[in-house]
Amino acid sequence: MNDQSFTYKLRRILSTLKIAISGTEKNFTTGSIQRAVFLLSVPMVLEMAMESLFAVVDVFFVSRISINAIATIGITESVIFLIYAIAIGISMATTAMVARRIGEGKPKEAADASVQGIILAGGISILIGILGLIYAKDILRAMGASEDLISDGFGYTKWMIGGNLTITLLFLLNAIFRGAGDASLAMRALWLANGLNIVLDPLFIFGIGPFPEMGVEGAAIATNIGRGIGVLFQIWILLGKGSVIKIKWENIRLKSEIMFRLFKVSLGGMGQYLIGTASWLFMVRIISIFGAEALAGYTIAVRIIMFSILPSWGMANAGATLVGQNLGAGNPDRAEKSVWICAKTNLYFLGIISVIYFIFASELINLFNSDDRVVKDGMLAIRYICSGYIFFAYGMVIAQAFNGAGDTKTPTIVNFFLYWLLQLPLAYILAVTYKIGPEGAFAAVAVTEVALSIVYVIIFRKGRWKATSI
């Protein structure tokens, strides 16, 4: 009897897993909340798992070139994060608006919102790309890079910022899929894009076969090609019949009212992530004071941590979609319950991963670089940051819940106070004023993430987000 019961439960789990990956079920406003969370979170976690795998593989290949190459990625990504902030801000608003319209049973209006998001994101990213192509060396110089590092790595910076349109559209189009409940399509698009990145990376970096040896610049070229093909796949789906959102000629036009509402919500999202990523940029600047080895160790540590954090964001994104669709369907209590389930599950996941990372921090850094200084600083970064992220499991889910409701203002205010008025001053005081070094900056990150989570939980419980209109 017990064996039969186990077999039955296993079959049910496998059957539900198949539905989650295939994306055949798209209604998440009725039925079991646990099932809805599972169906949405599985493809979103797998989507982010591929992004995190690529982040680790990319720095693994680049670490075979030089410490300067790793440092180049660290500096460039601190700037790229500002572009991510804009892309994610617009994507966040688009997800919220699309999810709300789908929950209300208005797919045409959801398609209208999608097109306005594409126009807005595409226009901004093209302007940024032009500036990146022209001022790549100046950007690295402003971030404190040495002339040797600039000479070796400006090609990477030029390609990554100049080609940011592929990154921006990949984020934005996947945000449309998530808002519509098409999480499996978002997963496939990112797997295609980053799968190609992983294959192309060593070919362009090391010059395997007919490919030219381009070093760290080759990593950026591989990224642009892989993500560009991923974007073409997304557009093909949106123009065809494979998505809940179907973009037709009647949708492809500028609609000022929708654009204004989308832009208004996007401003909060952009501000929210610009605050967070700008603080990250200044954190890199503080750590760069202690040399390329410290910066390389920090860069490797961040990539390793991203391997677990990005799947956690998949869980947070699932919560955002459930909030948006259920508020649209007039089910605010169901929306709240979905968030608590996502947050609790995320806590279990990050708790286990953080313990493993804490124990094996040194060994993990050694996989990428064996320099004693790099290993020491990278190990300290992993241990401090993971200590904070155990608590931030709740914070990241609840922050996305606000965003899914269209309340991007609350996380923006919280991020400003916690990142700019707590983390950065604390990092500088500990690392520079008290001469603790990079370890002081890492400790400031951990303290901030704990404080952030506590504040988010307190505000979320008040429930004002349930009345947000979009």
- CA-to-CA distance for 43 and 31, rounded, in angstroms? 19
Indicate the DSSP class of residue 105.
T
Sequence-distant (6+) residues with CB within 8 A of 436 are 430, 443
pLDDT greater than 80 at residue 187: yes
Give the pLDDT score at 3.
Answer: 63
Which pair of structure tokens corresponds to residue 405?
């409701």
- CB burial of 146-175 (b: ≥16 within 10 Å; e: otherwise) equals eeebbebbbbbbbbbbbbbbbbbbbbbbbb
For 90-106, the pLDDT digits (tens) are 998 999 999 999 999 89
- CA-to-CA distance for 113 and 125, rounded, in angstroms? 18
Mean pLDDT of 212-227: 88
Give the pLDDT score at 453.
Answer: 93
Give the pLDDT score at 88.
Answer: 82
Phi, psi (deg, nearest 5) at residue 32:
-65, 130
Mean pLDDT of 279-307: 83
Mean pLDDT of 249-262: 88
**Backbone torsion region of residue 144, taken as left when φ is above 0, otherwise alpha when ψ lies between -120 and 50, otherwise beta:** left
- CA-to-CA distance for 37 and 45, rounded, in angstroms? 11
- CA-to-CA distance for 172 and 188, rounded, in angstroms? 15
pLDDT greater than 90 at residue 27: no
Give the pLDDT score at 285.
Answer: 84
pLDDT band at residue 270 under the 50/70/90 scheme? confident
Q: What is the DSSP string of 238-251?
A: HHTTSSSS---GGG
Indicate the DSSP class of residue 219.
H
Give the pLDDT score at 4.
Answer: 64
pLDDT greater than 60 at residue 1: no
Indicate the DSSP class of residue 466.
G
pLDDT greater than 80 at residue 290: yes
Give the pLDDT score at 2.
Answer: 61
Give the pLDDT score at 112.
Answer: 93
Higher pLDDT, 55 or 236: 236
Question: Chain centroid to CA 356: how far?
Answer: 22
* Burial class of residue 461, CB neighbours in 10 A (0-12, 13-18, 19+): exposed
Q: CA-based Rg of the chain, rounded to a whole angstrom?
A: 22
Out of 113-127, 135-149, 199-213, 356-370, least confident range: 135-149
For 163-177, the pLDDT digits (tens) are 889 989 998 999 999
pLDDT band at residue 211 under the 50/70/90 scheme? confident
- CA-to-CA distance for 310 and 109, rounded, in angstroms? 30
Q: What is the mean pLDDT of the chain?
A: 86
- CA-to-CA distance for 443 and 436, rounded, in angstroms? 10
Give the pLDDT score at 137.
Answer: 85
Q: Which of 57-61, 86-90, 234-238, 292-296 has the highest mean pLDDT?
A: 234-238
CB atoms closer than 10 angstroms to residue 142 = 12
Please calculate the CA angle 344-276-450 and round it to the nearest 5 degrees: 40
For 231-245, the pLDDT digits (tens) are 999 999 998 877 888
**Backbone torsion region of residue 105, taken as left when φ is above 0, otherwise alpha when ψ lies between -120 and 50, otherwise beta:** left
Give the pLDDT score at 398.
Answer: 95
Higher pLDDT, 333 or 270: 333
Out of 31-45, 269-283, 332-346, 361-375, least confident range: 269-283
- CA-to-CA distance for 120 and 187, rounded, in angstroms? 23
Closest CA to 309 of 47, 42, 49, 21: 49
3-state helix, strand and coil shares in percent for the chain, rounded to the nearest 5? 85, 0, 15
Mean pLDDT of 183-196: 90
Mean pLDDT of 421-439: 91
Which pair of structure tokens corresponds to residue 245?
């959102």
Give the pLDDT score at 111.
Answer: 92
For 411-421, the pLDDT digits (tens) are 999 999 999 99
For 391-403, the pLDDT digits (tens) are 888 999 999 999 9
Higher pLDDT, 268 or 303: 268
Q: Tokens 């192309």, residue?
A: 200
